[in-house]
Structure 1
Amino acid sequence: MHITITGNLGSGKSTICKILEDKYGFEIYSTGKVQRELARQMNITTLEMNQLMCSDHKYDNMIDDTTARISRENPDKNIIFDSRLAWHFVEKSFKVFLSVGLDIAAERVMKDNRGKEEQYSSIEEAKEKLFQRAQTENMRYKDIYNLEYFNFSNYNLVIESAYSSPELIASIIMKEAKDYYALIADNHGQMVDRTRILLSPKSLYKEEVTKEERNALKGRISEYEKIKELPNVQIAAWKDGDSYQVLSALEEVKAAKEAGVPFLLTALNIQ
């Protein structure tokens, strides 16, 4: 299998890729390391490197050509591509997007040791710089490739990384990837256009569930507590930035949250 993993800055891509390498035997190809090393060699920040790449596309082309070549030359190897755009350049892959809100992303990068190029003096500075970097990268991808990086329909699996352990997320990615490759086999080797979005009930409903609500949902909560895999329910929600408004099955979201269900399959309308 070839699995391409991208996502929001600070979403935990490198950590999850390392688990997939250690536990499931995948090789990792990381273009982020290439970009950070280029910035270090030029004695500039990662954000400055992104801005430079907006005007000089030779760095993008170098990374993209290498990614495509590795995928073509290794069709029988299990490879994880930890890369912003590998989903576009790897011809046949299971495309994963890791989603995380800006507040949690900023907290994570503040704790990480990413070198002097990515050091921040406060959470607010981290949020501002992460937002700027994401905007810069998105503009560059649209300019060079006419791609909408944050359009979830580009991916086969969108999974939130804010409230679940990397180990759990890695195991779900593996299960979803195996299911997806089984669909391809059933489709005579042709790729399948399918997107599944898995979000945490904690993000879908951030308010506290009241005692009265919990009592009313007691039976449903008990049923959710018995579930070992994803519940057989799909939630509809509206996404605006980092916020969600549940459009259907709100009581199911509340019950799942109280039962500690990590993810719900969600259909999203995005602002």
Structure 2
Amino acid sequence: MHITITGNLGSGKSTICKLLNEKYQFEVYSTGKVQRELARQMNMTTLELNQLMCSDHKYDNMIDDATMRISRENKDKNIIFDSRLAWHFVEHSFKVFVSVSLDEAAARVMNDQRGQEERYSSLEEAKRLLAERAATEKVRYKDIYNLNYMDFSNYNLIIDSTYCTPDKIVDIILKEAKEYEKAGIETSKLLVSPRRLVKEEDITNEDKVRLRDLVSEYQKVDTVIDAVITAYKTEEDYEVQEGLDYVKAAFLAEVPYCEVKSI
């Protein structure tokens, strides 16, 4: 099984890849790992290759070719590809996008030790610079490949990491990947925490009484409620159009996810 994982900056995808390796023995090929392999083949250091990539896009293409070759030559291995665009270049994979709110992403990178180049003086600065970097990457990939890696329709599973632990996300990814392999058809599923779909202050005491039976039912749910939720994707969150009561009940029952149909 080959799984390609990309996501928002600060979404925790590298941690998820590490856990898939530790818990389920998937090999992990990150873009950085492929780049180091290519540098060795060219008798260069990774720094020298990085400098060349800034001025010549052919090295991006060489890394893409290496990613494709690795996927072709290792069809019998369980591999995770940790890369912005591996979903496009790996010949057959379960394609995952890990999303996260900008506030949470900024808080995570503020707390991480990511080196001098990723130090921030405030949460607002982290949010601003993360948003700018994401916008720059989006333009770069559009210019080089004519691709939008932020388009959710590219993926089989889009999973929100804002309020869920990496361990839980890893188990869900593997479960969904196995179901995808078994079905043999292209599907796309968007899993979003109810805490991103509704705010606690929007749930009234009347709601708590009215939805008491549904909340009791949802407290038995381990991962995803069985209900139709439709929502508009806003710039940073979602605006529920249908199924708001289900979302409120899931919030109160502390269910990790709702499956959302984005419109």
Fold conserved between structures, TM > 0.5: yes
The one-letter amino acid of 2:10's match is G
Asked if 1:268 corresponds to 2:252, the answer is: no
Change (3 A) 1:238 1:29: same
Asked if 1:194 corresponds to 2:200, the answer is: no
2:5/2:87 contact within 8 Å kept? yes
Query: What is the correspondence of 1:1-271 to structure 2 with a 5 Å cutoff?
Result: 1-32=1-32, 41=47, 56-184=56-184, 192-208=185-201, 209-269=203-263
Q: Describe the SS at the equivalent of 1:9.
A: coil
Query: Which deviates more, 202-211 or 104-113?
Result: 202-211
Change (3 A) 1:12 1:121: same
Per-residue deviation, 1:34: 6.5
Per-residue deviation, 1:33: 6.0
- Deviating above 2 A after TM superposition, structure 1's stretches of 4 or more consecutive aligned residues are 32-36, 38-42, 52-56
The one-letter amino acid of 2:22's match is D
Per-residue deviation, 1:160: 0.2
Per-residue deviation, 1:40: 8.4
Alpha-carbon separation, structure 2, partners of 1:242 and 1:8: 12
Q: Which runs of 5+ in 2 are unaligned?
A: 40-44
1:13/1:98 contact within 8 Å kept? yes
TM-score of the superposition, structure 1-length normalised? Answer: 0.88
The one-letter amino acid of 2:189's match is R
1:54/1:140 contact within 8 Å kept? no
Q: Describe the SS at the equivalent of 1:114.
A: coil
Number of matched pairs: 254
Change (3 A) 1:109 1:80: same
Alpha-carbon separation, structure 1, partners of 2:71 and 2:33: 18
Alpha-carbon separation, structure 2, partners of 1:14 and 1:149: 17
Alpha-carbon separation, structure 1, partners of 2:133 and 2:66: 23
Per-residue deviation, 1:55: 5.5
TM-score of the superposition, structure 2-length normalised? Answer: 0.91
Q: What value does the CA root-mean-square deviation take over the aligned residues?
A: 2.1
Change (3 A) 1:15 1:72: same
Q: Describe the SS at the equivalent of 2:261.
A: strand
